[in-house]
Amino acid sequence: MQSQMRKLKYHVATSLDGFIAREDDTVDFFPADLPPILDYFDTLASAYDTVVMGRGTYEPGLKVGMTDPYPSLETYVVSRTLKESPNPRVHLVREDPIGFVRELKTRPGARTDMSRIVRAAQLSVAKDIYLCGGGTLAGALFDAGLIDEVLIKLNPVLIGSGKGVAPRLPRQVDLELLSTKTYRTGLVLLHYAVKR
Amino acid sequence: MQSQMRKLKYHVATSLDGFIAREDDTVDFFPADLPPILDYFDTLASAYDTVVMGRGTYEPGLKVGMTDPYPSLETYVVSRTLKESPNPRVHLVREDPIGFVRELKTRPGARTDMSRIVRAAQLSVAKDIYLCGGGTLAGALFDAGLIDEVLIKLNPVLIGSGKGVAPRLPRQVDLELLSTKTYRTGLVLLHYAVKR
């Protein structure tokens, strides 16, 4: 059933020079523009039923009391150091994140109601898995061949240094451009498939 | 005559994760796709009469015998270590690159024949200055407020680590998106103005 396996999509905001956060994990350099954010949450709700993230991505929200950052998604946080989950909805993945994600992709997943788009055909497809970072986890998952698509929200700002998209990538990952979308705010959404 | 000052445009190819070269200055990860390259050289010939680059950007070509990388452009290489220029057309800038570029922008520059575009009006404008890297020089010129526009050729590849677009940027640079152009090869050309 390889062909029906759910996709893992790395969906992340970056500066123009390729940083997803400052070295201290803050992201104050991203403009808080409403239209792209609404579009983004609409995508999350309709396309995904599961989110996977590293501890470094989870903790900045946690520090301000956000224990469940994506309430509509089944949530997994990869961490060797967190002792217990701060929220019963948030599942910790303590060992073998590669094996865990590989198994997660084979699970059936919720169904997406596509009837708005092709009402007559009554189509539905399995919802995909949202990888929201960070770069270290993404690098390991790229290396294991588990990431299927990359969606970059490219912000019109240069910050010079910070945490990269996939900083520990052992070899280059070739991509195929699927689409681009430009917002009035100057943000460009770039959608790629990983070439096999 | 501030309004007639020539523009300095940082025109550089990057990976999707923001690298302009590997740590050893090689750029083998960029696909050698012909249409974007032809378009690029057409832009160089028509829009610029001068190129400025750092030593790290000049030397990889020099190592393979290319002493004059842009024969149609007045060429300046910023370097404290090069003793003499390997080519009489290539001018070394040994001291105060910021002051040098500031003065260069006030020079009149060659005229661009715009008659193909607005033949009736017989317009012509001063050709601009092409900053082709590297990141260290770009960071210093961003900091001095001397870079007017940024043109990124975003290649559909992730490489994980390497030399950044502007790695020593002392503060963030906010940009305004002017245009995007997508090539069949998956390359996306992004054109920004630096916000003042």
Q: What is the pLDDT of residues B69-122, one digit of tens each?
A: 999 999 999 999 999 999 999 999 999 999 999 999 999 888 766 555 554 454
Indicate the residue of B17, B18, B182 with minimum beta-carbon distance to A180: B182
Whether ipTM tops 0.85, in short, is: yes
Among residues A131, A150, A147, the alpha carbon closest in space to that of A189 is found at A150
Q: What percent of chain A has pLDDT over 70?
A: 91
| DSSP one-letter code for A184 | T
Is B5's Cβ below 8 Å from some Cβ in A?
no
Please tell me the least confidently modeled range out of A39-48, A131-140, B118-127, B161-170. B118-127
Kindly indicate the confidence band of residue A123, based on its pLDDT and cuts at 50, 70 and 90. low
Is B173's Cβ below 8 Å from some Cβ in A?
yes
Q: What is the mean pLDDT of chain A?
A: 89
Q: What is the pLDDT of residue B26?
A: 87
Q: What is the pLDDT of residue A108?
A: 86
Residue A49 pLDDT greater than 70, yes or no: yes
Separation of alpha carbons A126 and A111, rounded Å: 5
Q: What is the pLDDT of residue B117?
A: 53
Per DSSP bridges, beta strands A48-54 and A74-78 are parallel
Is A108's Cβ below 8 Å from some Cβ in B?
no
| Residues B16/B157, Cβ–Cβ less than 8 Å | yes
| DSSP one-letter code for A166 | S
Q: What is the pLDDT of residue A125?
A: 73
Separation of alpha carbons A13 and A126, rounded Å: 25
More confident: A116 or A61: A61
Pair of tokens at residue B41: 């050289």
**How many Cα atoms are found within 13 Å in the side-chain-facing hemisphere of B8?**
22
Indicate the residue of A167, A173, A188 with minimum beta-carbon distance to B190: A188
Cβ neighbors of A19 (< 8 A, separation 6 or more) are A159, A161, A162, A163, A164, B18
Kindly indicate the confidence band of residue A120, based on its pLDDT and cuts at 50, 70 and 90. very low
Assign 3-class secondary structure to chain B.
CHHHCCCEEEEEEEECCCEEECCCCCCCCCCCCHHHHHHHHHHHHHHEEEEEEEHHHHHHHHHCCCCCCCCCCEEEEECCCCCCCCCCCEEEECCCHHHHHHHHHHCCCCEEECCCCCHHHCCEEECEEEECCCHHHHHHHHHCCCCCEEEEEEECEECCCCEECCCCCCCCEEEEEEEEEECCCCCEEEEEEECC
Q: What is the pLDDT of residue B137?
A: 95
Which residues of chain B are modeled with pLDDT < 50?
1-2, 119-120, 122
Kindly indicate the confidence band of residue A116, based on its pLDDT and cuts at 50, 70 and 90. low
Residue A161 pLDDT greater than 60, yes or no: yes
| Best residue in A158, A163, A168, A190 for a mutation probing chain B (most B CBs within 10 Å) | A158
Mean pLDDT across A188-192: 96
Kindly indicate the confidence band of residue A32, based on its pLDDT and cuts at 50, 70 and 90. confident
